[in-house]
A and B are shown apart, each in its own frame.
Chain A
Amino acid sequence: MSTFKQHSILPGFNLALGFTLLYLSLIVLIPLSAAFIRTAELTWLEFWTIVTTPRVMASYRLTFGASFAAALVNAVFGLLVAWVLVRYHFPGKKLVDALVDLPFALPTAVAGIALTALYAGNGWIGQFLEPMGFKVAFTPLGIFVALTFIGLPFVVRTVQPVLEDIESELEEAAATLGANRWQTFTRVIFPALFPALMTGFALAFARAIGEYGSVIFIAGNMPMISEITPLLIITKLEQYDYAGATALSVVMLVISFILLLIINLLQWWSRRRSIES
């Protein structure tokens, strides 16, 4: 008897696990490994040169900067939206709650052209911002707007269930002990929400870094100024620079894996917190 699997009378383990592993290998693992194996054909120096040219470095700064700013805005407003949806009643609340997931369901290309039309100089929103000196469409600011849109549901959906589960006794106790609402929020509620908030922030950030569809329409895509890393991969691919495109995608993959690890740790922390309380 191997110790790999605990005994069970249910059938189908070998078939189910075998199929799962075969499918994952063919669809996910082998293709993903192609990126690493093809990059291994480069020397370390070649790889380093490709992934640190000034144009590439500018794209990292833009991608990470805009993603961070968008995730930060989503952390603040996502917490606010989750709070309002859980704690208050107002007309149309159910509709608003359902529509929060729109960025998950709306194809990114549609979001991209809609935001571009809105924030262009003659668009509904752009026409007010442009006279005030804010050019949004075709600038890095536009990238921030698109990334805020696609990251919007993450914080709301991670914070919402935790907020629903917070025992009202805790808050009552705080009130009894003389805390005002602000103190109760900052000392009791916020610490309980913090792991979920961080998870939502990390999820929104991870999603924003890889985002392509909604960004390319609004970005303007000027090298060194408004060119994100995923677009640079496509550009290299269209120039038949496979080595360059692959090396850049390995950098993106490694960053994604590190973020995935962080997110898993955060979720574990969040779960432990909720069990403790």
Chain B
Amino acid sequence: MTTTITFPLSPAARKERATQEPAWVRWSLIGLALMFLTLFLFIPLISVFYEALKKGSDVYLAAITHPDALSAIKLTLTVAAIAVPLNLVFGVAAAWAIAKFEFRGKNLLITLIDLPFSVSPVVSGLIYVLVFGLQGWLGPWLAEHDLKIIFAVPGIVLATVFVTVPFIARELIPLMQAQGTEEEEAAVVLGASGWQTFYHVTLPNIKWGLLYGAILCNARAMGEFGAVSVVSGHIRGSTNTLPLHVEILYNEYNFAAAFAVASLLALLALVTLALKTLIEARNKQHQKQRGHE
């Protein structure tokens, strides 16, 4: 026998569960959070585009097609095109060693990989000056052989590689740890070589994590300011990346042009966030599907 017990609740109270706040609390908290985000996030983002276009599209186009701006774009793309693949290879190698094998000192190694994230960008640049600069360890030898690293493109690349070392590795390590080693072991037992195993078994499993890490790595590589600023020497048209070009224009009180170039970097940031969100949504869906199987 089933009996229905009814409680004398008002309709409003019935809708409100015991584990939820009253509506006025909910909306006040939402309002407060959005106010904070508007003040510190949304308005700064909008203002970049507003300031960039304030003086009209002619000024905007002139600023981003100026030869100095174009050479800054070229250098920024070049630096990212070297730094991201290098850290990609590193990330895969580090994750393979750490996630697929058990060895002593593993936690120390993981901490060392994360180290560049906790070093101030300024210090990241300075240490390369100490190694390759004229006063540095290799400075005299480099000068003798007419090689220039500091205040030249190689220094910018090195500083950028340093600050972006952890991005791909720290994405792949937990992913590959979670996937375990059974699939790879099965492939090896069935006679696949190491490279075949990696290419046909591991890579398909980690490709989205790899892409995710590469996107974040790329955003930082293109946007790095402090470290690059120390080693660049700020030579217009030759060692100026986009963020450094923004600084130069800004310090010359050429605000419209500075914001125009900055808007390109802001667009890069938005594209990065969009791709990141898409990959996260895809992963979530994938996990759900796996859960249903």
Contacts and interface: CB of A to CB of B under 8 A. Distances in A.
B132 to A, nearest CB: 9
Contact of B130 (A10, A211, A234, A246): A246
Interface string A179-214: 001001000000000000000000000100111110
A83 interface: yes
B101 A8 contact: yes
A6 B292 CA distance: 35
A206 to B, nearest CB: 6
Nearest to B36: A77
Contacts of A31: 127-128, 130-131, 162
Contacts of A242: 129-130, 135
A239 to B, nearest CB: 13
Contacts of B29: 80, 83-84, 88
B23 to A, nearest CB: 10
Interface string B238-274: 0000111011001000010011001001101110111
Contacts of A94: 277
B123 A13 contact: no
Interface of A is mostly: helix
B235 interface: no
Contacts of B242: 107
B246 A35 contact: no
Contacts of B34: 84, 96
B273 to A, nearest CB: 5
A35 B41 contact: no
Contacts of B265: 106-107, 109-110
Interface string A1-14: 00111101111110
Nearest to A250: B123
Which of A6, A117, A256 has the most chain B CB within a 10 Å cutoff? A117
B234 to A, nearest CB: 11
A138 interface: no
Interface in A17-45: 17, 19-20, 23-24, 27-32, 34-35, 38
B198 interface: yes
A45 B270 CA distance: 49
Given A35-B123, A256-B118, A13 B97 contact: yes
B37 A99 contact: yes
A19 B90 contact: yes
A233 interface: yes
Residue from A11, A31, A81, A94 with most neighbouring chain B CB atoms (10 Å): A31
B37 A118 contact: no
B8 interface: no
Contact of A217 (B26, B44, B127, B250): B250
Chain B interface size, under 10 / 10 to 19 / 20 to 34 / 35 or more: 35 or more
B143 interface: no
Interface in B161-182: 161-162, 165, 181
Contact of A23 (B90, B193, B258): B90
Nearest to B261: A110
B79 interface: no
Given A27-B158, A77-B33, A213 B120 contact: no
Contact of A212 (B185, B189, B226, B259): B226
Given A10-B188, A96-B34, A256-B118, A107 B223 contact: yes
B161 A27 contact: yes
B114 to A, nearest CB: 7
A88 B30 contact: yes
Given A110-B266, A113-B258, A152-B41, A237 B118 contact: no
A50 interface: no
A82 to B, nearest CB: 9
A16 B94 contact: yes
A213 B163 CA distance: 14
Interface in B125-169: 126-131, 135-137, 158, 161-162, 165
Contact of A16 (B18, B25, B45, B93): B93
Interface stretch (B61-69, B105-113, B206-214): B105-113
A80 to B, nearest CB: 5
A266 interface: no
Given A16-B93, A105-B273, A172-B18, A125 B101 contact: no
Interface of A: 3-6, 8-13, 15-17, 19-20, 23-24, 27-32, 34-35, 38, 77, 80-81, 83-85, 88, 90, 94, 96-111, 113-115, 117-118, 124-125, 145, 148-149, 152, 168, 171-172, 175-176, 181, 184, 206, 209-213, 217, 230-231, 233-234, 237, 240, 242, 245-246, 249, 252-253, 256-257, 259-260, 263-264
Given A105-B272, A107-B243, 8 more contacts: A10-B181, A17-B103, A96-B37, A99-B37, A117-B51, A118-B47, A230-B122, A231-B122
26 contacts: A11-B197, A13-B101, A17-B97, A17-B103, A20-B97, A23-B90, A32-B127, A34-B136, A77-B33, A85-B33, A102-B273, A106-B45, A106-B265, A106-B266, A107-B225, A110-B223, A118-B44, A118-B47, A172-B18, A175-B18, A209-B120, A212-B225, A230-B122, A234-B230, A240-B135, A246-B126
